[in-house]
Structure 1
Amino acid sequence: MGFAGFPNPLTFQFTWVQPYNLDIKVTPAAVVRPRTAEDISGVVKCAAASNVKVQAKSGGHSYGNYGLGGVDGAVVVDMVNFQHFSLENETWLATVGAGTRLSDVYKKLHDAGQRAIPHAVCPGVGIGGQATIGGLGPMSRMWGSSLDHVVEVEVVTADGKIQRANALHNSDLFWALKGAGAGFGIITEFVFRTHPEPGDVVQYEYTLAFGTQAEIAPYYLAWQNLIADPGLDRRFGSIFIMMPLGAIIVGDFYGTEDEFRATGIPNALPEGSRRHIVLNDWLGSLVNGAQMEGLFLTNTPAPFYAKSLAFKREDLPSADKVNALFQWVDAQNKATLLWFIIFDASGGAVGDVPANATSFAHRDKILYYQSYAVGLPLAQASKDFITNFHNQVLASCESAYGTYPGYVDPALADAQQQYWGANLPALQKLKTRWDPNDLFHNPQSVGRAEEIAV
């Protein structure tokens, strides 16, 4: 067994708990750092016997601190010691320990055989959360999500058993873990199918520096029209970021500069006050992307508040509603200079997978938005701005519903329905089978089917 930490007012929060969102206070019953699956099995059995909830922590980037249980009193299984990696050179299947951070995942895949999987670019995120929630990133339109590349896992279930799960063995559990893993077990390792690295990557950045968001609205509309095109080249990924005094459009094209220009996409992208294109290899593009995202979403813990929403193509707001929304932003008191509203293009290969093939439900979504306000301390006015912006979006896109479960929002009243949609009833029944006492629990994890008595 690895080390374990217990509540101590002097050191526990800083050395063991290490919360990500400092606006949400959580004190676990204990934090353990096991070294083997057998260690985890022992922890799970002990917690079950003591009627204490359990949650695994991989990178620890949950917006609601759900890797710490989300509320006081859980046992946290910190997977930091599960860093093992191997690549099979005939099948190109990669085995990755569940505590591995994304920066190490892509470096290890590169060094072992110039292979790759789709994932987000924030380097500190853990693969254990990424590949059980979804795993969307700039290459997802081309390759799909991280969880779509998982072919097998080793998992410790609520009875303390160490099991393998794949499409043929424990297939129902495997289905649930691929989208709602936090409620069904503690995965110790993943087996991924991999791709050859793209040979060339074009990274682009358009900076829009204006005095008001109202002046930005036409540029957003041009970008929205581009990413809503059903024929948009899947090698293209992009995000649009609103922020104080302007906006920025960034992203990647997985191919050569000539191929990028041949798509016509550069001509459709709105040109701003500064336009910048970088040619990169695969590893360089990931490092550069991490540096860029670090300007907006840092690995450093801070007090913050966030909201999000997912859009089908038919949910996208019309031009008049976009103009009104951006004008509304100008008039608000944000009470902080650290606010960002990020629109992230999706679709493509993610939508090729049927909605019921995994527990991840958002196969029909082509766009997500996330809004953030950060403050030291975080003012109520900043939270109100983010909440009211979200309400304005909902009023502008009345049919839009649901969001990516990686964008945790503790304020959602119907979180499970919004995260898992039509897959929720099946997940609830599987919860009753695999975790009848709700051992693996956070405030918004999948619960048991209400109609089944246990």
Structure 2
Amino acid sequence: MRRFNSVTVDQEAHTAVIGAGGRLGNIALALYDQGKQAISHGTCPGVGVSGLTLHGGYGMSSRLHGLTLDQLVSVTVVLHNSTVVTASPTSNPDLFWALRGAGAAFGIVTDFKFKTFDAPESNLVFSYNLSPSNTSQLANILTVLQNFTIHDQPPELNMRMFLPNQLTGVYYGNRSAFDTIMNPLLTKLNIPLEGRGAGTVSTKKWIDTLTSFSNGPLPQPEIYDYHENFYAKSLMPEYLSPAAMTALADYYFTTARNIRGRSWYLLIDMHGGSGSAISKVPADETSYSHRNAVFKMQFNDRIFPDSATYTPKMMEFLNGWVDAIEKASEGEQFGMYINYADTNLTKADAHSRYWGEHYERLVGIKGVYDPQKVFEGPQLVGS
């Protein structure tokens, strides 16, 4: 699909038609070059737009503009019998609903039409260091961030935490408003407002803002040959109880920080809450099933070299972390994000975790648009 990589902007209409083989860094640059337009998308420039969009698409402007799939106007799809159709709110609307959250199971998308917005050119990019020294302190930090995300975080403020010691993000507004919002939070997190340990805040234009959160340069080669050898898990909790926060933090101090010879991280995005554009979309508007998740949690454990074998024994590390959090939540099973596919899940668990109450409706739509199950995958709808 890499040759399906065109980007055509209608600046007056604030729309763009984007080929399904494009990668995010190239797409961002093409949108900007055609009238300084933008869409909400993820931070890694090598990620393909199709997988991202068809299953969600969270990035550092999502609290203000929604998920990537929330900006879809229409898509062009090749169906199982090679029929080419348009899916939109008025053409094949049930297919359009399914594609926005579970899209890999229904056809081959060749292009997407998105709503665009004017790229903001004065953005505050910030980073603060956290220094919890025990379970109680880390659990308190997470609790403060959860409460702030649910009740006080405005849409202009996008944040993420790399556990245990970095809080970073971007604010689309001026410094005075930023300080009014952030200073009470920083005080609760024991982060100095000035002087040593106060963190960094800098003003950046749009492309520089994207680069700040990127894991490499934005331009991507047509022949993409980047690989990582890793295992990933996710959680999409609507709320983590005090017991769950303690379990999460305790596992870090007793287990995670003692892992050697591997490169792991836990990334917690401040996803939902009353101020998030994601949460404002009705739960049944799309097949994306995590509208009310306060956090989007990505657990990632990478080994070296890339030719090595990631063994089932190694999976016990991240599996144990998720198990500890859920057992402390009175055995509750939280949702999970299919874009961080977890190969340890059974089909039934994957279907439930990824799509929740939407799954049965998705199966019915699958039967209409792909009755012969041409589009199969180990955990996809209908598998």
- The verdict on how the C-alpha distance between 1:213 and 1:110 changes in structure 2, with shifts beyond 3 A counting, is farther
What SS does the aligned partner of 2:367 have? Answer: helix
After superposition, the Cα gap between the structure-2 partners of 1:293 and 1:331, relative to the gap in structure 1 and judged at 3 Å, is farther
Which position in structure 2 is the counterpart of 1:192? 114
Cα pair 1:304 1:375 within 8 Å, conserved: yes
Q: State the Cα distance separating 1:91 from its structure 2 match.
A: 1.0
Q: CA deviation at 1:161?
A: 1.1
- In the TM superposition, residue 90 of structure 1 has moved relative to its aligned partner by 2.4
1:219 and 2:141 are equivalent in the alignment: yes
**Match of 2:222?**
none
* In structure 1, distance between residues paired with 2:294 and 2:375: 31
> Which residue does the alignment assign to 1:59?
none
The 3 A distance-change label for structure 1 pair 292 and 327 is: farther
> Which residue of the other structure, out of 200, 209, 232, is the alignment partner of 1:306?
232
Tell whether 2:54 aligns with 1:132. Answer: yes
- Which gives a bigger RCO, structure 1 or 2 (Cα 8 Å, sep 6+)? 2
Give, in angstroms, the shift of residue 210 of structure 1. 6.1
Going from structure 1 to structure 2, the CA distance change for 1:108 and 1:324 (only over 3 Å counts) comes to same
Once the two structures are TM-superposed, the CA of residue 130 in structure 1 deviates from its matched residue by 1.2
Q: Report if aligned partners of 1:199, 1:255 keep a CA contact under 8 Å in 2.
A: no
Structure 1 pair 361/317, CA: closer, same or farther in 2 (3 Å)?
same
Return closer, same or farther for 1:379/1:158 CA change in 2, 3 Å cut-off. closer
Aligned in 2, Cα 1:162/1:95: closer, same or farther, shift over 3 Å?
same
The answer to whether residue 355 in structure 2 is matched with residue 435 in structure 1 is no
Counterpart of 1:403?
336
Instruction: Tell me the secondary structure at the aligned position of residue 410 of structure 1.
Output: coil
Match of 2:212 in 1: 288
SS in 2 for 1:187: strand
Give, in angstroms, the shift of residue 341 of structure 1: 1.1
What is the SS of the residue equivalent to 2:97? helix
Q: Which of the residues 152, 160, 171 maps onto 2:74?
A: 152
- Of residues 86, 91, 103, the one that matches 2:25 is 103
Compared with structure 1, are the counterparts of its residues 93 and 187 closer, same or farther at alpha carbon in structure 2 (3 Å cutoff)? same
Offset from partner CA, 1:150-196 (integer Å, 9 cap, x none)? 11111110011122221111121111111111000010001111111
Verify: 1:249 aligned to 2:171, yes or no.
no
Q: Residue 259 of structure 1: which of 164, 177, 193 is its match?
A: 177
Distance 1:136 1:276, change over 3 A: same
Q: CA deviation at 1:337?
A: 4.0
Structure 1 residue 212 displacement after superposition = 5.9
The C-alpha deviation readout for 1:287-321, integer Å capped at 9, x for no partner, is: 11114899xxxx94222111111111xx2231x54
Is residue 206–residue 276 contact of structure 1 (8 Å, CA) maintained in 2?
yes
Where does the alignment leave 5 or more consecutive residues of structure 2 unmatched? Answer: 219-224
**TM-aligned CA deviation for residue 217 of structure 1:** 3.6
Show the counterpart of 2:251: 328
Change in Cα spacing, 1:325 to 1:404, as seen in structure 2 (3 Å) is: closer
Distance 1:213 1:99 in 2: 44
- Tell me, what secondary structure is at the counterpart of 1:406? helix
Give the superposition deviation at 1:251: 0.9
The 3 A distance-change label for structure 1 pair 292 and 342 is farther
- Measure the CA separation in 2 of the matches of 1:358 and 1:293: 32
Q: Residue 338 of structure 1 aligns with which residue? A: 263
Give 1:115's aligned residue: 37
In structure 2, give the amino acid aligned to 1:301: H
Residues 394 and 292 (structure 1), Cα distance of their counterparts in 2 relative to 1, 3 Å cut? farther
Q: What is the Cα-based RMSD across aligned positions, in Å?
A: 2.2
* Letter matched to residue 370 of structure 2: D
Shift in Å, 1:407: 1.6
Q: Give yes or no for the alignment of 1:316 onto 2:240.
A: yes
Matched, 1:268 2:268: no
Residue in structure 2 matched with residue 365 of structure 1 by the alignment: 293
Identity of aligned residues (%): 30
Q: Residue deviations 1:326-358, cap 9 Å, x none?
A: 233222252434111111111211111112111
Q: Is the 8 A contact 2:11 2:37 kept in 1?
A: no
Compared CA separation, residues 392 and 292, structure 1 to 2 (3 A): farther
Contact 1:150 1:192 in 2 (8 A): yes
Deviation by residue 1:408-439 (Cα, 9 ceiling, x = unmatched):
11212210121111111111011111101111
Question: SS of the residue aligned with 2:199?
Answer: strand
State the aligned residue count. Answer: 358
Q: Provide, for residues 15-56 of structure 1, a one-character-per-residue CA deviation record: whole Å limited to 9, x for no partner.
A: xxxxxxxxxxxxxxxxxxxxxxxxxxxxxxxxxxxxxxxxxx
CA distance 1:291–1:447, change in 2 (3 Å): closer
Post-superposition offset of 1:325: 3.2
Within the candidate set 128, 137, 156, 1:235 is matched to 156
TM-score, with normalisation over the residues of structure 1? 0.74
Aligned to 1:54: none
Deviates more, 1:303-312 or 1:375-384: 375-384
Task: Determine helix, strand or coil for the equivalent of 1:373.
Answer: strand
